Amino acid sequence: MSSTREADNDYRDIAIAIGPETRIINCKDGLQWIVQTRRGGRWRPDGFWRWRDPMLSRLKARPELTLSREAETAIKALPAKHP
């Protein structure tokens, strides 16, 4: 059973798992993507995005995050604007 709570590990609408501590979800209201990082055992918001390319640029600029080729390809496959 998946959860409707965005902070849960088993949230029902994970768009991309970037790594063990970072993921992108669709918000519960379907308005935007939320980049989340896991801190203290919970997923916490780390950015809210309607547009894919600025989100990708911001993720690439984070020194603590290394995007794999697969993660970058998955992000580029998202629609240019959140539906």
44 located within any domain: yes
Q: Which helix (H) or strand (E) holds 14?
A: strand 14-19
| Tokens coding 61 | 């600029």
83 located within any domain: no
| Tokens coding 36 | 């989340």
Average pLDDT over residues 59-65: 92
Total count of domains within the chain: 1
Strands 22-26 and 33-39: antiparallel
2 located within any domain: no
| Tokens coding 51 | 């547009």
pTM summary value: 0.92
Is the CB of residue 23 less than 8 Å from the CB of residue 47?
Answer: no
| Tokens coding 78 | 């998202």
59 located within any domain: yes
For the segment 6-44, what is each residue's pLDDT rounded down to a tens digit?
999 999 999 999 989 999 999 999 999 999 999 888 999
Range of the domain at 51: 14-76
pLDDT of residue 41: 84
